[in-house]
Amino acid sequence: MKRLLPYAGPFIDHDPAWNLPLKQLPNLMAWFPQLRLKAQQSVARDSLNPSQDYAYQYLQNQGQIPGELLDGTLPCLAAEAAQNQLLYAGTPHFTSPLQNAACLTPVHAMVATDSITLMDPCEVPLSVEDSETLFQAVAPIFESEGVSIKWVSAMNWQVLHPSLAGLALPSIERVLGQSVQYWQTLTPVQPVRLLRRLQSEAQMVLYAHPLNQAREARGLPTINSLWLGPVKAECSHTTQPTDSTKWLVDWRLRSPYLHGDAKAWCAAWQAFDKTLEPASDTFELALAHSTGYVVWATHDAGDHTWLESLKYRLKNLTHPQPSLQSLLNPKK
């Protein structure tokens, strides 16, 4: 059993409402005496890729992140899978950053007097048919300027152009609920000048498109913008793990975290705990939070780090009321 759990840490540090005692997660608590700390990595709060992308690359590459994949170029986990809150087996579907690729995500941008923010794509219904219709409307704009564009999925339109070579771009997960302008300033202007212009032209087409007018009439958010970010690692859905060697991504914590709902987040943690299998022979759990990730695993014969890891656990769990912090930030 291999699980990656994004948004596993509290939305507000040191807030009691987000401090979930491990005794409320009985299955995870039962596993803990058998676990060792396999990996722990810090990720900056203002990194262009969120910590789950770093964790996923670590897991997919057996403990290493390829040297050419820098912050802002790591493939992003396609979080729109989260709308169903099921388990998703990570299936990379991307062109190497060395091949000048990026992703356009169709989004609904909310414009205020002093800022622009994006609505969470997971909360914007967009069928395959509607996505393909809008894609066909804007694709000629990019192709006319020598930018290759490919429809991969409803929320993943891949673009290729030499100007994107090694270019660090902010993941859409970093932008949600924050100022679009701020994150755009973190990308050098010159390399994306062409893409920004084409995005503006595409937005004009989207704004006037009959499909968007029909969506608005039905009370649905319009697709009025495109977010340029790193390529995506698409996820295919499954309700039961079919391959014990694959990592499954569980998105159930994402929505309550992004909404700042501590009660729902704790409930989602408890729901996740019920999915754990106490009788399983092996267990690995990667927890991604706002400042990094940790990977816990059952002891592997021949691994000599288990004793030190046991010391860390005992030091943390002898606290009269151990909480998730014992897992997220194990003290050495």
pLDDT in tens, 133-176: 999 999 999 999 999 999 998 999 999 999 998 899 999 999 99
- Mean pLDDT taken over the chain: 83
What pLDDT score was predicted for residue 96?
A: 47
Q: What is the pLDDT of residues 279-306, one digit of tens each?
A: 666 788 999 999 999 999 886 544 545 5
Q: Cβ–Cβ contacts within 10 Å for residue 23, how many?
A: 10
What's the pTM? 0.88
Q: What is the pLDDT of residues 196-235, one digit of tens each?
A: 999 999 999 999 999 999 999 999 999 999 999 999 886 5
> Does 31 have pLDDT greater than 90?
no
Residues sharing a CB contact under 8 Å with residue 176, sequence separation 6 or more, in sequence order? 117, 118, 120, 258
Distance CA 3, CA 324 (A): 16
Instruction: Please compute the mean of the pLDDT values over residues 321-327 and round it to a whole number.
Output: 77
Instruction: Write the DSSP assignment of 278-322 as a string of letters.
Output: TT-S--EEEEEETTEEEEEEEPPTT-TTHHHHHHHHHHHHTSSS-
Comparing 38-52, 239-253, 254-268, the range with the smallest average pLDDT is 239-253
Of the chain, the end-to-end C-alpha distance in Å amounts to 26
Distance CA 93, CA 108 (A): 24
What pLDDT score was predicted for residue 97?
A: 45
